[in-house]
Structure 1
Amino acid sequence: MSLCLLTGREGELWVGTGRGLYCFHDGAVTPLGEPEGLLGTYTYPILQDRAGVIWVGTSEGGLSRIEQGKVTATWGQRPGKSGRPGLPGDDVLALCEDHTGALWLGSSTGLTRKEGNRFTTYRPANGLSGLPVRVIHEEPDGSLLIGAGTTLCRFAGGKFTRMGTNEGYPVPDAQVLFIGRDRDGNLWIGTNRGLVCQRQGRFTLYGVADGLPNPNVKYLYHDSQGILWFGTAGGLVHFANHRFTAITTRQGLFDDNIHVILVDDQDRFWMSSNLGIFTVPRAELTACAEKRQPRVTCRVFGPSDGMRDQEGNGSRQPAGCRAADGSLWFPTTNGIAILNPVTLPYNASPPPVTIERLLADGQSLENLSPVLPVHTQTVEIHYTGLSFILPKQVTFAYQLSGLSQDWQAAGSRRTAYFSGLPPGTYTFRVRAFNRDGVASANVAEVRFSIPAPWYRTRLAYAGYLLLALSLIAEGVRWRLAALRRLALRLEQTVAARTAEIYQQQEALRGQRDEIERKNAEMLESIRYAERIQRALLPRAGQLTTTLTDAFVVYLPRDIVSGDFYRKNAVKPCTLGQGYKAHAVLSSQTCDKIAV
């Protein structure tokens, strides 16, 4: 029994009863599960056919048909809880509508074709290469590619052909997680051992070494800009210009295990994961992948938004679908979560923000004291934003003026930590954002200062300066004295060396004079020999009186001559050989010498 009602400033409804106070607000998620007629809680593939009918497979409730948001029929292995009979088992793990309108189902027991109320099942005995069947994909030629167990096989003309190394398929023993083609006609196969691409008949395997954050590749989306996006167990992957770029929780992604990627009319990506459903604008993801911004901001949906269980399911295809009316359908561990991006509730009320307390080295300060103790090593500031609608999704950003003018995104954390702050005056500011990104109207702030110890005061620094100047002056004085001593030593050395050189010069002069004296004596002896030699030569007048045809040639090379030569008509007379100078004696003397 309600005793009172109140509408809050954020549009929430407060109901007071005899058993307590309740708060109600619009949820973003519409759940559809067992209470609504779905057989089974674990939902896997969701498919909308050409007629607009939604088909859902579950792990224990068979196949369900949903029209206009209501479960209208179910099929299982036998009648009763599982609905109409016809399926080979109560689990449906994969769905595919072929070009004829027939519905294909994959399960742990085989591949089943549903045409109207007629079911035809193919098992390993019929040539199916493995179990369970998790992925079914129709090729342009009408054949089916099937992920069966840890194999990939093709079904055409009623026959199964396992893809192996003979066909060029590089991972014949890998579990297939999705199969799809991009707009260029290239075939992409996601496995638990990497991503396989077939271009112009050739297979290429991409792995962690090529840029994938995880070898488990679960989903493919080809956007309007020609960029391929892959959901993996290690994050979202952007593929452009033959390069893989991963966006993970380190860049702000809510969770790394991406089951499916759906896109709304506002070009926002909607992804399910083990932690919930979240959405990010594609432009923001592209900017992050191209290094134009460091992080992305996700809006998250969970139990507080109406989900009965936040954990999504994947690795069975299709792992979600966008319906004709724009609503998005996600399989979870407890039914289906349905969101309509157009009708999402919007909270336009800005959340008030306040600072609760300030701690210095773990000690709380009363009245947010502006002066902290000397030698403070750590500062903690606790703050909060006030919102009764999804308060856990209120996020914050703060700034510590005096340390940095940049605003830091803190997410939903309500405590800021600073360590090793130098002495100074600081102003801490914080603002809050509700789950729709509306910022608080005010900015909460607190000012505080950390005093410097005595040895870091201005007076201490002045003393340090004087001491430094004194040390510099003393160093300069000592250096100048050292230079003077060095100059004196150099002068003494130069003087000693100069005196030594003078002594050597005097000794050399003495030796020169002695050599000149010896040379003079030798020259005097040689000139004396010359006079003797000239004295031996006959006078020209003496020869002409004796000889009518005679002459004297005396041409010494230096001062004195060497051998004497005589030549007449009878025979020559030779005294010696090897000298260029010649002396001619009288004919009688030469004759006597020759005899």
Structure 2
Amino acid sequence: MGLNKFNRKNETFKRFFHDSKNPRSIPGDEVLGLLVDDDNTLWIRTRENLSKYDNKDFHSFEISSDRFFMKKISKKIPIVKTPHTIWTSSDKGIYYVSTTTGAYGNITNINGTTIANPYVTALVYDNKQTLWVGTINGLSKYDMRRKTFTNFFHKKNDENSLPANSINYLTIDHSGNIWVATDVGLCKFNPETNKFITYKSDPTDLTSLSYNVVLSLLEDNSHNLWIGTDGNGINKVNLKPLKFKLYRKSSSKKSVPLSQNVIASVYKNNKGIIWIGTWGGGLDIYNPKTKVLINYNENSPIFNRITENHVHAILEASNGNYYLATRNGITIYDPNQNKFFNAKEYYPNVFFPKFENTRIYSLMEDFRHNIWIATQSGLHKFNINSFEVSSYYKNDGLCDNQIISLFEDDMNLIWIGTANGLNTYDFTQPDEFQTFIALGKDHPDANGEFKSLSNNYIYSINQGKKYYWIGTGSGLNRYNKATKKFKYYLKKDGLPNETIYEIQIDKQGNLWMSTNRGIVKLNIENEKFIAYDKGDGLQGLEFDNGASCLSSDGELFFGGVNGLNSFYPDSIYYNNFTPEINFNYYSIISTKKENKRSNIPLQENDTIVLKYSDKSLTIYFSALEFTNPSKNQYKYFLEGQDKDWVDNGNKNFAIFTNLIPGTYQFKVKGSNNDYKWGKEKTITIIVYPPLYKTLWAYLIYIFVLSGIIFLFIRIRTNKLRMDNQLLRAQQTASIKIAKQRKELEIKNKNIMDSINYAKRIQQGIMPTEYLLKHFFPQSFLFYQPRDVVSGDFYWFSEKKGKFFIVAADCTGHGVPGAFMSIIGINLLNNIILNKNIEDPGKILNEM
């Protein structure tokens, strides 16, 4: 209802409706077609009008459209542009408007030619002055230079004509082919050959159209054709060259009539003829030039008959014969006789081991013209010159009797792959087999290499310039003969699958391997794997052991369960279309119960804002290249967290948990199916911190901390001031004390001087020791006052032959005692010497 204009920036719509009172409004509300021309003018097709919109007003041109026409045209009317002209459909042929002169009109008949039908349903311009017109009854080619119509119609029993005359849609691809959508299928018209190729739905072929009623067509920028059907989905066709040629029996126009699509072996000879051994269908010999295929099986006429229909190996020997290995013996084809023989019939005098009901896995001719025969019950050697036969079994040194693969290296060493290990046979030591087996507890050395195989089931063996390559049931093994070490290549290293059936080495030395998940290439220089699957043109994902071949001209063949693929490694087409990355949406998981936000739309340069409680962020994106989207690769880089680009494989999403608060730049880029990388795109992610870590919180913290510091400094200052005042008081008291001390020291000195003087007086009045020794030579005198002076004293005198000796202790100590001792001495001098009292008792009483 009406016209809507979508603003991608703010994701809003502006609506336009018909207003009968406004002649400059849209002429009708049923919009059936839109076109933007080179001048960015929007052209709108409604039921009865063609209008152009100049970002202000609508300017309309009336077009005749009857009910029958509108019923056939359904809800879509084509509009196309050519230089200076806009074209659309009507019930009177093609309708045009000149963008330079404004002239308009219908074209049905011109220069004696007529449009296939005036009811036009589809238009497409091929940039070669040709307008292709689809009608309800045929296809018309309008030559603008000659101004003539050429018509094409359905012709009964002509598979190169239109499949039906009623045309629903037209488009032109990058190669100039016209694709025509009808009710009975899709067809491709080649203007150079004027031939149609029709594609229809086939319930037995999952790669065919899903439904025959095709309503719309679109070729995208990387040459994929999108096909819209009437109620049965969308189909996609890759119009680019396929990487691999396919040989398969099917309902397709390119079908090769193989007897059986399960391929067991393949060989291409020097004449370009392909020998294909099938799994139960016999031998198919196919000539790619003439496209002639001849089948030979166990029921074919004599001399065209093979011994059994499971052909597991094909060998062209040096004698010119072809040897075919089956489950019931060996068939030999002799080109000189153009006949097939059973080996025992061809060599009647040679005693072969019993090959009946025995599967033969592989055949190989060595430099001595021995044909080695690998069977499920032993290894045999047959010399095509001497007709000698030798057999080897587990008892002779082989790892197992079930022999799977054979290889001769450049030193003429025979490598024998078994179901339980690997052996080598040296012609210089014919009685010995060297053995390699997998050790259960083998550990890698410092270089990541092992002493043993990764697995004992040996599917294939080959030799490169430096190393031997061994395909096992558990990965690819590289063997270094110099160090006798193995290196393993597994799924974690890039293999799509670890079952390596066949190994072929191209002229550049790169390895090509068939697996249970397609074909994989190992670039020998950088050791990078490139995997190929059904989207690249493979017969399927599962391939067969023994079904591979490297032809003399460098063409590689790999057979699987649904056909045979071939290719030249140096001619593989690689998709050069770089994809644009697109942000889809994002989802957030929070710690809060109610906060799980999903599928939030996202565009380039948007900003995702996360709260601290948002613990998980998932960003979804896609590389807009649809050749094989499952193989598109992605890399992302979260600036602010990652140090380098993260290889995300084919996952189109990135998950981030517990992002630290801050601002991040999320960058992502994608590749197409062939690892062609596009430009990166960026969005911003802002993670807000919790409330207690916000700027305002930090400002509050600073304010509070500043207040605390200020208060602390204030209290500290006051305390220091008080301490200072106390210190000053103490200093004043100290000065006063020091002054008093000084005074005391002076007074003490004076007192001591007086006491010392008193000492001298005391010593001066007491008799000397000399006087005592004069009278008593054997005597001694010990006098030791406690202080400077003492109240103890001694006295001695001689009078008229009498000796008076006194040792006295006066009351008091120090100075008072000294004064008393002086008094005592004076009293003794007076009593004894002057008063002549000699009796001790009287002397004491006198004192």
Same fold per superposition (TM over 0.5): yes
Contact 2:632 2:670 in 1 (8 A): yes
**Unmatched tracts of structure 2, length 5 or more:** 1-163, 174-219, 250-254, 440-450, 590-595, 710-847
Q: Distance in 1 between matches of 2:699 and 2:434?
A: 68
Residue 42 in 1 paired to residue 273 in 2?
no
Question: Match for 1:303 among 522, 529, 534?
Answer: 534
Q: Which residue in 1 is equivalent to 2:558?
A: 330
- Equivalent residue, structure 2, for 1:488: none
Distance 2:519 2:292 in 1: 23
1:273 alignment partner in structure 2:
515
Q: Of 191, 194, 204, which aligns to 2:434?
A: 204
For residue 479 of structure 2, give the secondary structure of its aligned residue in structure 1: strand
2:680 aligned partner: 443
In the aligned structure 1, how far is the partner of 2:305 from the partner of 2:324? 12
**Aligned residue in 2 for 1:231:** 471
Number of equivalent positions = 450
Whole-Å separation in 1 of the counterparts to 2:560 and 2:421: 25
1:250 is paired with a residue whose SS is helix
Aligned to 1:509: none
Q: Mark the CA change 1:341 to 1:462 in structure 2 (over 3 Å): closer, same or farther.
A: farther
Structure 1 match to 2:325: 106
The answer to whether the aligner puts 1:73 opposite 2:73 as a matched pair is no
Q: Which of 573, 576, 582 is equivalent to 1:348?
A: 576
Distance in 1 between the 2:322 and 2:278 partners?
Answer: 16
What whole-Å deviation, never above 9, does each CA across 1:36-62 have from its counterpart, x for those lacking one?
121111101112335443211111111
Q: Higher strand proportion, which one?
A: 2
Measured against aligned partners, the alpha-carbon deviations of 1:476-507 in whole angstroms (never above 9, x if no partner) come to xxxxxxxxxxxxxxxxxxxxxxxxxxxxxxxx
**1: CA distance, partners of 2:699 / 2:414:** 72
Contact kept, 8 Å, 2:242 with 2:537, in 1: the verdict is yes
Correspondence 1:45-64 to 2 at 5 A: 45-64=265-284
Aligned match of 1:194: 421
- Residues 153-179 of structure 1, C-alpha deviations (whole Å, 9 max, x = no match): 223455643313564x23243x21111
- Structure-2 separation of matches of 1:439 and 1:342: 21
The correspondence for 1:119, drawn from 328, 338, 341, is: 341
Kindly tell me: are residues 126 and 203 of structure 1, through their superposed partners in 2, closer, same or farther at Cα, counting changes over 3 Å? Answer: closer
CA distance in 2, matches of 1:211, 1:419: 42
Equivalent residue letter for 2:487: T
Query: What is the SS of the residue equivalent to 1:162?
Result: strand
For 1:178, the equivalent position in structure 2 comes to 405
Q: 1:112: Cα distance to partner?
A: 2.4
Q: CA deviation at 1:387?
A: 1.1
Pick aligned residue for 1:90 from 301, 305, 309:
309
Look up the match of 1:214.
455
2:809 alignment counterpart: none
Greater CA deviation, 105-114 or 329-338?
A: 105-114
Q: Which residue of 2 aligns with 1:452?
A: 689
Structure 1, residues 302-345: CA drift from partner, whole Å, max 9, x if none? 3223333221111x3xx311234432211110121122334433
Partner of 2:646: 408
Does the CA-based 8 Å contact 1:112-1:120 persist in structure 2?
A: yes
Give the aligned residue type for 2:462.
Answer: Y
Could you tell me which amino acid in structure 1 is paired with residue 524 of structure 2?
Answer: R
Residue type at the aligned position of 2:526? E
Which structure's CA Rg is the greater one? 2
Match of 2:632 among 394, 401, 404: 394
2:597 pairs, out of 352, 363, 367, with 363
CA contact (8 A) 2:269 2:551 kept: no
Higher relative contact order (CA 8 A, sep 6+): 1
The equivalent residue for 1:256 is 498
Pairwise CA distance, 1:15 = 5.9
1:255-286 C-alpha deviation (Å, 9 max, x unpaired): 2211222233444322211111222322122x
**C-alpha distance after superposition, 1:463-483 (max 9, x if no partner):** 7998xx99xxxxxxxxxxxxx
Q: Which range moves more in the overlay, 349-358 or 84-93?
A: 84-93
- Superposed CA deviations along residues 441-461 of structure 1, whole A, max 9, x for unmatched, are x31222212223345567579
| TM-score, normalising length: structure 1 | 0.69
What pairs up with 1:553-564 in 2 under 5 angstroms?
none
Change in CA separation of 1:151 and 1:62 when aligned onto 2, cut-off 3 Å: same
Q: 1:490: which partner in 2? A: none
Q: Distance in 1 between the 2:671 and 2:419 partners? A: 39
User: Residues 21 and 37 of structure 1: is their aligned pair in 2 closer, same or farther, counting only changes over 3 Å?
Assistant: closer
> Can you list the C-alpha shifts for 1:224-278, whole angstroms capped at 9, x where unaligned?
x332112222222222232110111111222221122223344432221111122
* Identical residues among aligned pairs (%): 23
Q: Deviations over 1:413-446 (max 9, x none)?
A: 1111223333332221110111222211x31222
Q: 1:462 to 1:207 in 2, by over 3 A?
A: farther
Distance 2:295 2:333 in 1: 13
Pair 461,39 (structure 1): closer, same or farther in 2 beyond 3 Å: farther
C-alpha spacing 1:390/1:446, structure 2 compared with 1 (3 Å): same
What residue identity is the alignment partner of 1:220? I
CA contact (8 A) 1:97 1:104 kept: yes
TM-score when normalising by structure 2: 0.49
